Chains A and B, each alone.
Chain A
């Protein structure tokens, strides 16, 4: 049984699905936008699976999946390229959601795990492992160092910013301070290390999907899936917190608990991605903002941010791998793409307003 709510006014159109006791509500534009993003994502993924030393067309990719023949196409697509494409999609979604949570909680479009000290901490943690242990450090050890560094940094930021609760502004500023110190430390470590080690560390530090195979992807994907499930329940609290602490409490939200839960989810998402692929900048910052402007939702929405994060990371990886003459770490491209789009949006806003 379908109902449209509020026939009386000309606001954003809404679809309400109502059963006997069940009712769900979607905003029409958001729904359409998400469908478009999803379709674009699938399309891009199919194209990405076809690019490389053995070029395949989209039909060939699809038949490699469902064809059943275990030819070379199937090996290439399923065993070599698929983990990387899936990683781009899943990690991108995780980063997009993580950024969305931070930006919503702090009510600041500049908030992201990058700013709260998580990225700087992960980078420093991984660097310490690489530079202290040397070029032979295994990816698992580096990942461990990255997670540890990130978590310590975030905990530090949270503790220092906590005074009768967390206020967005203070969180960001403390994050900037701690990040700056960690970046200075990292800068110093890079300066002192041998050139080859330093360059290798910087490649890792820019974030790369190169080392991600099924072994790295599966555990990360499981953690991300669990967090997404948790967010299914916490997502409502995020919207309520947008109203300010007092109003949210008055409407029945447990403010500090929800906020802590949301931050833990956001941190977990970023930590897992950083462990697998190194710190990838700007996806968490840009995806929610771009999603916000394209779907014109009030406040930050999680699903569009996830889809857009996946799109950005996948597109960046395709560019990083195939468009330039040398293979670059994907983090370099996300920064340029994400930043570039943000600039375009700012300029576009100017023209629209004036």
Chain B
């Protein structure tokens, strides 16, 4: 309980950082005024249109990525699971490219395309990777994800190279960012994230059993097929919504469950709960770093998470005894 309290406190601190830090200095009174009696001043605009939506976006996306990461790692028993390996990023990017061709031009307009792309791809990967008995061998899932992601990325690259507009949009999209993600982008995706978290928590106990191995889990009474399908649905909703809002952001889904596990142990119920709090914290801090590190220009958060997450990943694998996937 103490751990959760600390995590929440960290999250609150991160939220505050997210609101206050940036290229335009903003003070506590500015925020208060903007919230209570907005007057249309420049500072109010910064607070209301930039900082707060950005922070909220980071919260929602963080929850989506963190929980889907925990689910993937639990479902495939693979400590290196990340929502990206199921091809979510590639699918979203391709459909966004299609959207651009069809005339979409704002993140809010990309949203349904990205989400559709994520859904379609995850479903395809699952279909290809499962061996027809309702079970999904983690190695085949990963292979299918890699293969499908490659194909889709190729098509997307082709589209980018043929059309400068698509290129410009997608190079921004591919970096993963919270800039220009207002409530028109966040709110439509929010219900999916909420549903995803609910399903995740419902599956948590079964995932604990699955961690012991398929045979043992079955003998303990776990409904394997049902848990798998529900988990995949939840992963799709969460990762899809998160990517649809902000573009591909790597490593958060990978790192956060490990941090949670380090604090609280292998119980999936707690891992998921902690991930809900820790992931947004990590994401917000990364976003803030992105605003500050090359001040005054803004480094997209997806790039920062790679530089934060990769060393963590490397450290993890150097420390642990090498065990096979």
**Which chain A residues have a beta carbon within 8 Å of chain B's beta carbons?**
108-110, 160-161, 163, 167, 169-170, 173-174, 176-178, 180-181, 183-185, 187-188, 190-191, 195, 198-199, 202-203, 206, 281-282, 285, 326, 328-329, 331-336, 338-340, 342-343, 346-347, 350-351, 353-354
The answer for the CA separation of A157 and B128 in the assembled complex, in Å, is 31
The main secondary structure of chain A at its interface with chain B is helix
CB <8 Å contact, B155 and A173: no
How close is B217's CB to chain A, nearest CB, in angstroms? Answer: 22
Q: Which residues of A contact B251 (CB under 8 A)?
A: 180
Which 4 A-B pairs give the minimum distances between C-beta atoms?
A335-B154, A184-B306, A339-B150, A339-B151
Q: Is residue B46 within 8 Å, beta carbon to beta carbon, of the partner chain?
A: no
CB <8 Å contact, B322 and A167: yes
Q: Is residue B311 within 8 Å, beta carbon to beta carbon, of the partner chain?
A: yes
CB <8 Å contact, A354 and B147: no
Question: C-beta contact mask, B287-320 vs A, less than 8 Å → 1, else 0?
Answer: 0000000000001101100110111011001100
Q: Which residues of B contact A163 (CB under 8 A)?
A: 318
Q: Which residues of A contact B162 (CB under 8 A)?
A: 326, 328
Q: Which residues of A contact B148 (CB under 8 A)?
A: 339, 343
Residue of B nearest to A329 (CB): B161
Partner of A346, one of B128, B157, B325: B128
Quick one: given A177-B311, A347-B128, are A195 and B167 in contact (CB under 8 Å)? yes
Partner of A202, one of B140, B150, B167, B303: B167
Q: Which residues of A contact B144 (CB under 8 A)?
A: 343, 346
CB <8 Å contact, B174 and A336: no
Q: Is residue B48 within 8 Å, beta carbon to beta carbon, of the partner chain?
A: no
CB <8 Å contact, A188 and B303: yes
The residue in A281, A332, A347 that gathers the most chain B C-beta atoms within 10 A of its C-beta is: A332
Quick one: given A332-B154, A335-B150, are A188 and B142 in contact (CB under 8 Å)? no
CB <8 Å contact, B313 and A336: no
CB <8 Å contact, B171 and A198: yes
How close is A79's CB to chain B, nearest CB, in angstroms? Answer: 28
CB <8 Å contact, B164 and A187: no
Q: Is residue B324 within 8 Å, beta carbon to beta carbon, of the partner chain?
A: yes
Partner of A109, one of B143, B168, B171, B306: B143
Q: Which residues of A contact B131 (CB under 8 A)?
A: 350, 353-354
How close is B107's CB to chain A, nearest CB, in angstroms? Answer: 16
CB <8 Å contact, B322 and A170: yes
Q: Which residues of A contact B222 (CB under 8 A)?
A: none
CB <8 Å contact, B151 and A206: no
Quick one: given A180-B309, A191-B175, A335-B157, are A346 and B151 in contact (CB under 8 Å)? no
Q: Is residue B188 within 8 Å, beta carbon to beta carbon, of the partner chain?
A: no
Quick one: given A191-B175, A347-B128, are A338 and B143 in contact (CB under 8 Å)? no
How close is A280's CB to chain B, nearest CB, in angstroms? Answer: 11
Quick one: given A350-B132, A354-B133, are A188 and B154 in contact (CB under 8 Å)? no
Interface residue ranges of B137-191 to A (CB < 8 Å): 139-140, 142-144, 146-151, 153-155, 157-158, 160-162, 164, 167-168, 171-172, 174-175
The answer for the CA separation of A144 and B254 in the assembled complex, in Å, is 34
Residue of A nearest to B297 (CB): A192
Q: Is residue B50 within 8 Å, beta carbon to beta carbon, of the partner chain?
A: no
Q: Which residues of A contact B149 (CB under 8 A)?
A: 339
The answer for the CA separation of A268 and B324 in the assembled complex, in Å, is 28
CB <8 Å contact, A170 and B302: no
The answer for the CA separation of A167 and B325 in the assembled complex, in Å, is 12
How close is B158's CB to chain A, nearest CB, in angstroms? Answer: 5
Quick one: given A184-B302, A354-B131, are A174 and B322 in contact (CB under 8 Å)? no
Q: Is residue B129 within 8 Å, beta carbon to beta carbon, of the partner chain?
A: yes
CB <8 Å contact, B161 and A335: no
The answer for the CA separation of A173 and B312 in the assembled complex, in Å, is 11
Partner of B167, one of A198, A347, A351: A198
Residue of B nearest to A179 (CB): B310
Q: Which residues of B contact A281 (CB under 8 A)?
A: 150
The answer for the CA separation of A170 and B322 in the assembled complex, in Å, is 7
CB <8 Å contact, A332 and B128: no
The answer for the CA separation of A272 and B115 in the assembled complex, in Å, is 40
How close is B318's CB to chain A, nearest CB, in angstroms? Answer: 7
Quick one: given A335-B157, A346-B147, are A183 and B171 in contact (CB under 8 Å)? no
Residue of B nearest to A188 (CB): B303
How close is A327's CB to chain B, nearest CB, in angstroms? Answer: 10
Q: Is residue B80 within 8 Å, beta carbon to beta carbon, of the partner chain?
A: yes
Quick one: given A169-B324, A202-B157, are A188 and B299 in contact (CB under 8 Å)? yes
Quick one: given A173-B80, A181-B306, A202-B167, are A160 and B160 in contact (CB under 8 Å)? no
Residue of A nearest to B142 (CB): A110
Q: Which residues of A contact B29 (CB under 8 A)?
A: none
Partner of A332, one of B80, B158, B171, B306: B158
Interface residue ranges of B225-256 to A (CB < 8 Å): 250-251
